[in-house]
Structure 1
Amino acid sequence: MSDSPTKPTAKPIAPAEPDEPSPWDSAEDPSRLPFGKFGKLTPIVCGMVFGLLLRLAFSGAPSSRWSAMVGAFIWLVPLATGAITVYLAERQQRRSWSYYAWAPALATALVVIGSLLILIEGLICAVVIVPLFTFMGMAGGLCMGLVCRLTRWPRHAAYGFAVLPLAAALVLPQGAPAQMGQVERSLWINAPASVVWEGITNIRNIQPHEVNTAWTYRIGVPPPVEAVTVQEGSQRVRKSRWAKGVHFDEIIQEWEPGRHLRWTYRFGPDSIPAGALDDHVAIGGAYFDLNDTAYTLTPEAGGTRLHLRISYRLSTDFNTYANWWAQALLDNFAQTVLQLYKTRLEGSA
C-alpha cells in the first residue's frame, strides 16, 4: 500500500447555460406556452388576438396619432403580428421557412376579418388593406424566423416587435402629405351630342342592375340613384343622390351645352349618414376627397364620344399603395357610369 495521499477527483465543469432557453425547447413541454397543448393553430390564434388588441388601441379620431390610418398602424401592426405569431410557434417547435410566411399571413388576415366581425372596420377598408397587411405580416414572420435561427435572444426581439407600433405612434410626426391624381375614360355613344348632354345633366331612377358590373359597389360603396341639375340663384347645381341616404351637391363651374361640363363638390354635415361609407374613405374626409369631375362631348362617326375625367386627393402615410387602389376603384366607377349612359342614351336615341 502506498502512503501517498489520494488525489482528489476533479469535478467536471458544467457547461455554461445560455442566457435564454432556445425557443424551440418547449416542444417537449407545451405548458411553457399558454394553451400550447391545444394544437398547432394556437400561435396563429394568439397572433390574431394580439393584432386585434393593437387595432383597438388605434381607434382614435381621424388625423390623430392613434387613428387606424397612421403609418405606425398600417406598416408596423401587421409586422408585429407576424413576428409574434412566429415567436410563439417557435416556442413549440422548430418551424420551416414556409411556415414563417404563411402563418403570419393568415394571422394578419384574421385580424382584418376580426375587425369586421366586431364592427370596428368597414368592408371597403378591409378589402383594400388585406393585401398590404398580409405582405407586412409575412415580412415580420420571416424576420422573427431569422432571429430565432441565428440568435439566442428571440424573446427580446419579440418584445421589441410588440411595442414598436405604440412607440412609433408616439414619436412619428403627424400629418400626411397630400397627393393629387386623376382618372380618365371615354366611350363612344351612338346618339347625338344634344341627347348625351341631356343625359349627363339629368339622369333619374338608376336601377341596381344598371351598375351591377361595378365591383366598387359590391364592396360597400353606395350606388348612384339620380343626378338632377337645378338653378339656385345665379348658380347651376347638379343634385346627386346615392343609396344609403348619401346626397351632395355638384357645383357647376364650366357649362357649355353639348360640349363640356365640369363641377366641384359640396358636402353638408348630413351628406354622408353614419355607416353609409367607411370613415377612412369618406369623400371630403381627412384622407380622401374628390376635387372635380368633367365631361367633354365630341362628335364622332355619327355619334358622340363622351370623355370623363375625375380628379381626387389622397392624404395618407401610404399614398403610393392607396393611390393604386384609388386608380382601380375610380377607373371601375368611370367605366360603369359611361356604360350606363351608353345603354340608356342609345335606347332613347
Structure 2
Amino acid sequence: MTLPHTPDHEHDPNRDPEHNAAHAQDRSDDGHRPASEPPPLPASHAVVPPPPPTPSNKPTFSNWWPLLGGALIGLILRAIFSGEEDGRFSPMLPVFLLLAPLAVGAVTVYLAERVQPRSLGYYVLAPMISTCLFVLGSMAMLWEGAICAILILPVFMLVGAFGGLIMGVICRMKWKSRPTVYSFVALPVVLAAFGVGNETPQRFEHVERSVLIQAAPAEVWKHLLDADHIQAAEVDRAWMYRIGVPTPLAGVTHRSERGLVREVRMGKGIHFRQMSSDWQPQRYVRWQYLFEEDSVPAGALDDHVRIGGDYFDLRDTTYTLTPRGDATLLTIRMDYRVSTGFNWYTVPLADWLIGDFSEVILDFYRQRAQAG
C-alpha cells in the first residue's frame, strides 16, 4: 500500500532548520516581531524621563549647611574686625557693618545653589536667617551684647538679603560665581586694611517733648529734684529699657558749692551725677552729666552704646516749667551726640529711642506730681 505524499511546506520545522530560519526571516520581513523578542509595553506604562530641575516655589531649608556656612563666614569676619575702637579693624566701621552681612548673604546663596536651584524667596529669606545666626554666634562668643545686637540686626538682615539677591542673579546667569563670592568675603578686609571708611563724623542733635500736668509748678519741681524708690513698672515701657538698658532706681538732688548735684542710681550698679549751675526754682533746670571710671560696671551696658563713649553721649538735659492756670506744662529737651560712620542710621534710631524715653519720663513725673 502506498502512503500519501506530504507536501514540502508541511514538513516538520524541527526537522528542517533551514526552512525554520527562512520562515522566521519571512515573518520579520512581513513586519511581524520574531518570537524571541518581548512584546512592546503599553503606552500607559512607557518610561517618562524626569523633568529637569527647576527652582522651588518657596524656600527650602531641609539642608542647613548653606545657612551655617554663611553664618560661619560672618563669624570669621567678626574675629578679624575685633581690633581697637579707633583702629583699622574696629567692628564699628561701616566697611564691616555693611559688607560683612553682604558677604554672609552671598555665601549662603552660593552654597545653596551648588546643591540645587533656589527660588527668589530663598535668595531673600535664607540670608536673613544666616545673619541672625551670625549675630547669635557673636553674642555667644561675647563679642556683642544684646543691646547692640537688637539695634543692628534690622540693618544686617536687609543687607544680607541684598547680598543673597545679587549672588542669586549671578548664579542664574551662569556667571563666574566662585570668584565673585571670594570677592564678597575679601572686600571688607581689603578696604579696612587700606583705611577706607574709617571716618566717624559727629552729629549733634536734640529731642524735645512736653506734657501738661494737673499740678502746681512747686509740686512738679519737688519731684524733678527728688525721685526716689522708682519702680520698674513706672518706666519700663520705654523701648531703651525693653532692649536691655537697666531701669533707674533713684535720682536725689542736694546742693553743693558748684550748684545742684543729682545722684542717679540705676540697675546693674550703674551710677552717675547730674550737675547744674544753671537753674531757677520752679522755672527750669539744666543738667549736665558726669561719669566716673566706675560709673558703668563691666557688662552693665554694651561698650558701643555707653553714654559718654566714643559713639554716643548725652550732652545735657533741660526741664522747663511753664504755668498754665492751675496746671504746669513740663518740657524736656535732651541734647546728644552720635559719632559713627553710619549716622544715617544711628541718628534716626537715637532720635526715636530718646524721644520715646522723654515721653515715658514726662509721664512718670506727671503721675507722681498729680498723686501728690
Normalising by structure 1, we get a TM-score of 0.86
Residue in structure 2 matched with residue 8 of structure 1 by the alignment: none
Distance 2:251 2:182 in 1: 55
Percent sequence identity is 45
Distance in 2 of aligned mates of 1:327 and 1:289: 13
Rounded to whole Å, the distance in 1 between the matches of 2:347 and 2:97 is 15
> Is this contact kept in 1: 2:93–2:197, CA < 8 A?
no
How much has 1:276 moved relative to structure 2? 0.7
The whole-number CA distance in structure 2 between the counterparts of 1:173 and 1:96 is 34
Aligned with residue 317 of structure 1, among 335, 341, 353: 341
**Per-residue CA distance 1:142-175 (angstroms, 9 max, x = gap):** 1111111224310000110011111121121533
Which has the higher mean CA deviation after the structures are superposed, 62-71 or 301-310? 62-71
Indicate how the Cα distance of structure 1 residues 149 and 232 shifts in structure 2: closer, same or farther if over 3 A, else same: same
Choose from 197, 217, 221 the match for 1:193. Answer: 217
Q: 1:286 to 1:234 in 2, by over 3 A?
A: closer
**125, 130, 142: which is aligned to 1:107?**
130
> 1:285 & 1:206 partners in 2: Cα distance?
26
Aligned partners of 2:198 and 2:341 also within 8 Å: no
Aligned residue number for residue 135 of structure 1: 158
For structure 2, the 5+ residue unaligned runs are 1-52, 54-60
Distance in 2, Cα, partners of 1:121 & 1:234 = 39
Asked if 1:147 is matched to 2:170, the reply is yes
State the SS of the aligned residue for 1:174: coil
Report the equivalent of 2:361. Answer: 337
CA contact (8 A) 1:253 1:264 kept: no
Q: Secondary structure at the match of 1:332?
A: helix
1:195-217 deviations in whole A, cap 9, x for unaligned? 11111111111111111222211
Cα deviation for residue 115 of structure 1 reads: 1.6
1:84-99 counterparts in 2 under 5 A?
A: 84-99=107-122
- CA distance in structure 2 between the aligned counterparts of 1:327 and 1:173, rounded to whole angstroms: 24
- Please point out which of 184, 191, 212 is paired with 1:168: 191
1:95 positional shift: 1.3
Q: TM-score normalized by structure 2?
A: 0.81
CA distance in structure 2 between the aligned counterparts of 1:220 and 1:186, rounded to whole angstroms: 26
Displacement of 1:182 in angstroms is: 1.1
Residue 85 of structure 1: how far off its partner (Å): 0.6
Of the structure 1 ranges 218-227 and 166-175, higher mean CA displacement relative to structure 2 is found in 166-175
- Residue ranges of structure 1 left out of the alignment (5+ in a row): 1-26, 28-37
Answer yes or no: is the 8 Å Cα contact 2:248–2:266 preserved in 1: yes
- Whether 1:248 and 2:272 are equivalent positions in the alignment is yes
How far, CA to CA, are the matches of 2:88 and 2:208 in structure 1? 35
**Displacement of 1:39 after TM fit?**
4.9
Please, what is the CA RMSD of the aligned residues?
A: 1.5
Measure how far apart 1:249 and its partner are: 1.4
Q: 2:78 aligns with which of 39, 55, 66?
A: 55
- Equivalent residue pairs, number: 312
Mapped to 1, the partners of 2:65 and 2:130 lie a distance apart of 11
Could you tell me whether the CA contact under 8 Å between 2:94 and 2:198 is conserved in 1? Answer: no
More off after superposition, 291-300 vs 328-337:
328-337
Offset from partner CA, 1:4-35 (integer Å, 9 cap, x none): xxxxxxxxxxxxxxxxxxxxxxx9xxxxxxxx
Match of 2:264, as an amino acid? S
